[in-house]
Structure 1
Amino acid sequence: MASTHGAHGILVASNRGPITYQTQDDGSLQAKRGGGGLVSGLSAIGPDADALWVCAALGDGDREAVRRGVGEDGVRMLDIDAEVHADAYNGIANSVLWFVHHMLYQTPLEPVFDAEFRRQWDAYRAYNQAFAEALAEEAAEGASVLVQDYHLCLVPGLLRALRPDLRIGHFSHTPWAPVDYFRMLPDDIRAELLDGMLGADRLAFLTWRWATAFLDCAAEIDPERYRVPPASEGSRSVEHLDGAAPARTLVGVHGLGADAEFLRARSHEADVEERIVALREEIGEGRRTIVRVDRTELSKNIVRGMLAYRQLLDDHPEWRERVVHVAFAYPSRQDLAIYRDYTAEVQRVADEINSSYGTPGWTPVVLHVKDDFARSLAAYRLADVALVNPIRDGMNLVAKEVPVVSDEGCVLVLSREAGAYEELGEDAVSVNPYDIVGTARALHEALAMQPGERAERTKRLAAAATALPPAQWFLDQLHALEA
């Protein structure tokens, strides 16, 4: 147990922090601020809260900033060995835990939990230990610590051992795997993950579907150590039967919403208006648009979305030359070969559709792969149909953002496997993400929907999508932990 305590009453821990540094040609460091729910949440608690954000140094610029002692008030960046970080982040977090929770494995060939996996797991454990030690060092007596996501599943248990006085919460931004899929992990690794998570006083998830999946894992995989009592008045918990502290871990749900105020203001700035003009030129006069905006993440299902669009053109040739699929697929995790292959397949399918169906005046698929937030907002505003068809997604904020900024109203075609479906499914056109023919049928229904119904649905979608804006989402977690 730490003998001295820090000064911070509220701490957030996440792999990525609110700021990144780049080394300039003259050797100086340039800082770039990030956005998102945690940033706005921390700013909402005010400067008097003694808050600290603990994050990893992710690149050479970040590591150089740590070495020079360059930093920002309220942020502590950890200079974890680059190889340890790579093994923990790419080897385990993104190539194992992400695949398990999103059910992405081709099981005849993978996963393979060999000696290399064990070596990488040791790095994941060391990475989590570094965070736990930094948090233990910085936290005031009885402080509240909010640990974020699948990169840091072991931190609550490790931190509990160092500082039993702290109130510890963990939030999962991904789905949680069903029991049978979670069982793929080696027995000792499964146990270590559950012990790590259940070191928290409170666990939180984006939807009850994911929370319930976690509770099922705790109850079925280690029934001698954990018991899940029946729900009482909407609250759930896991009881620790082996006398471990805490005696129980509460489980809650906070469905992160879109930041309506920010999105509506940002989507009408000059650079977005410029992108709208350029996009309209690419699309062509008077054409309808099916828009998608994603990272080229395996779970986002971009290729099947394009195949469904091709099916639409086959089944309903009346839409040819009258509709364009505007697809923004921004590169993600390109240091992993499977992601590079997937990105190439997205490009290949788009090219194939364009060469098979395109005419001199009509490009059926307008694909952009360079990240451009202003252009994404322009596409949101122009969308007649938004296609959000992940095979599995913790939430999916695109589904929530498009209705908020849409100019003329937008029909949301939404996978029932997105976390957002729990809140938006009633006013969306729902799809089975594996069903190409069914998705093509849904796209036709969406394109043919009458303007009045489309506008009404958009209004209800926007209201549901903004019910828990990012700052309130963060504060709700904090207050629930402190209570």
Structure 2
Amino acid sequence: MVSARAAQVGPQILVASNRGPVSYAFEADGSLTPRRGGGGLVSGLSAIGSEADTLWVCSALGDGDREAVRRGVGEAGVRMLDIEASVHAAAYNGIANSVLWFVHHMLYQTPLEPVFDAEFRREWGAYEAYNRAFAAALAEEAAEGASVMVQDYHLALVPGMLRELRPDLRIGHFSHTPWAPPEYFRMLPDDVARQLLRGMLGADRLGFLTHRWADAFTRCCEDAVGGLGTTRVGVHGLGADAEFLRRRAHEPDVDERLVALREQIGAGRKTIVRVDRTELSKNIVRGLLAYRQLLLDHPEWRERVVHVAFAYPSRQDLAVYRDYTAEVARTAEEINSTFGTPGWTPVILHVKDDFARSLAAYRLADVALVNPIRDGMNLVAKEVPVVSDEGCALVLSREAGAWEELREDAVCVNPYDVMGTAAGLFAALSMSPGERSDRSKRLAAAATALPPQRWFLDQLGALREA
């Protein structure tokens, strides 16, 4: 049944995600300052246009956000939900990031984990409550027949919950992560696995970044709940925003950081660049070990190449991520102490997030290393060829979603094989300038085939057709 609110004028396009397009920070005088978010989803929503009747429903993520909700501070087109902090923590850290992320990225050390005990059930109840709050807000806000686009694994139950509240709506869900194959997904308790799948199948249409992830979801449904029912599945490989990246990469702050990086690297040296969060799936430690192996196998490259590694801290409230961040730093230091000379630092490691510095590294990259053990897409693999000044070679894991689109012109590697990755780095460094430039141009063309605006509008159009 359509609610009384929906019979009135309401938004015709709604987006729901854990993180919204704006956050709030306290100033010294107690006032709140809004900060605009970035990323493909924010860029994609901008494609609808400022005149469109839209609403973005998101969660208050910190004290500034919660205070903004309490004070009635907000921005047009955004509804921020002040869900109890303990519920959000249990749903976000306990389930979304410590269970669902680990399942879809196949990260568990299975002799010891996971353990689905009473604490898991308590956190699962919080995850249900978190999703229910989003479903209720969307049901309250949406105009009759509106299109609702729900984002990612944090909100996997929302489509089914919203369908029960508002059967008149067009509901879509997009997964920005990989999807686990049935044999790994089956690790979840049976009732939880079925609840997740049925929650997503409440949507009219589901979107995935690659055919591989879409096929894995379909097989899980066939295995656990008897198929997809009437839900349609589509693939939309999010591309890089070339216009924004190229413009932003030549602004003064990027130029300043480019000068500083070149001084650190030293004249005449090649660069291997990686830019990642210290997320377990990004495989930063094995990437460093592969670089170490390159220096062992090919001593002629010593003092001629520098590995510029940006590893920005992620999820540091979880112990396993803090430990991993420390191991990244330890491995980089070990390489520098073993191979470094007074005039050459083999690894330049930065751990403080700095987008302008990342773009500067993109520009000077001779080789980009993107070697995740599993990744929904990985936009870095698409961004570096777009921004690189002289063209770069891409060493790319076959487990990255981007591999599906970029494999023809990348140097593809098995992310677990340190020796093979070292050989891939050597091949990339040894590539002739002409071949590197030609490959980089083709990579950039493939990487920008579906920019964020087109990616969003394509999904919206497919949902309306469904």
Query: Which TM-score bucket, shorter chain as reference?
Result: over 0.9
Q: Aligned residue for 1:195?
A: 198
Do structure 1's residue 460 and structure 2's residue 445 form an aligned pair?
Answer: no
Gaps of 5+ in 2: none
Q: Secondary structure at the match of 1:355?
A: helix
Q: State which of 72, 91, 95 in structure 1 corresponds to 2:94.
A: 91
Whether 2:428 is the aligned partner of 1:446: answer yes
**In the alignment, what sits opposite 1:290?**
272
Aligned to 1:232: none
- Secondary structure class of the residue paired with 2:376: coil
Quote the Cα distance in structure 1 between the aligned partners of 2:335 and 2:433: 29
Which residue is 1:414 aligned to?
A: 396
Partner residue of 2:332? 350
Hey, what's the Cα distance between the residues in 1 that align with 2:379 and 2:42?
16
- State the SS of the aligned residue for 1:8: coil
Q: Which residue of 1 aligns with 2:32?
A: 29
Match of 1:425 in 2: 407
Asked whether the equivalents of residues 414 and 421 of structure 1 are also in contact (C-alpha less than 8 Å), the reply is yes
| CA-based RMSD | 0.7
Q: Is the 8 A contact 2:272 2:307 kept in 1?
A: yes
Q: Which residue of 2 aligns with 1:314?
A: 296
Distance in 1, Cα, partners of 2:345 & 2:36: 37
The offset of 1:454, in angstroms, is 0.4
Answering whether residue 222 of structure 2 is matched by residue 210 of structure 1, we say no
- Kindly indicate whether the alpha-carbon contact (under 8 Å) linking 2:56 and 2:78 is maintained by their aligned counterparts in 1: yes
- 1:371 match: 353
Q: What do the CA deviations read for 1:215-266 (whole angstroms, capped 9, x no partner)?
A: 000011222xx3xxxxxxxxxxx22xxxxxxxx0000000000000000000
Q: Aligned partners of 1:13, 1:473: CA distance in 2, in Å?
A: 16
Alpha-carbon separation, structure 1, partners of 2:220 and 2:318: 29
Query: In 1, distance between residues paired with 2:432 and 2:456?
Result: 38
Q: 1:17 aligns with which of 17, 20, 34?
A: 20
The Cα offsets for residues 388-445 of structure 1, whole Å up to 9 and x where unpaired, read as 0000000000000000011111000000000000000110000000000000000000
**1:71 to 2:98 alignment:** no
CA distance in 2, matches of 1:104, 1:43: 34
Structure 2 residue 245 is matched with structure 1 residue 263: yes
- 8 A Cα contact 1:42 1:51, kept in partner: no
| SS of equivalent residue, structure 1 residue 147 | strand
The answer on whether the counterparts of 1:89 and 1:151 sit within 8 Å (CA) in structure 2 is yes
CA contact (8 A) 1:300 1:391 kept: yes
Answering whether residue 392 of structure 2 is matched by residue 392 of structure 1, we say: no
| Identity among equivalent pairs (%) | 80
Distance 1:143 1:2 in 2: 11
Contact 1:413 1:442 (C-alpha < 8 Å) held by counterparts = yes
**Contact 1:2–1:137 under 8 Å retained in 2:** no
Q: Distance in 2 between matches of 1:265 and 1:25?
A: 33
Instruction: Give how far 1:25 is off.
Output: 1.3
How much does 1:299 deviate?
0.1
Cα deviation digits, residues 43-100 of structure 1 (max 9, x gap)? 2112332100000000000000000000000000000000000000000000000000
The equivalent residue for 1:124 is: 127
The Cα of 1:24 is off from its aligned counterpart by 1.1
- CA shift for structure 1 position 39: 1.8
* 1:35 Cα deviation from its structure 2 partner: 1.5
2:113 aligns with 110
Q: CA deviation at 1:41?
A: 2.0
Q: Which amino acid aligns with 2:139?
A: A
Letter in 2 for 1:143: A
Q: Which of 45-54 and 453-462 deviates more?
A: 45-54
| TM-score, normalisation: structure 1 | 0.95
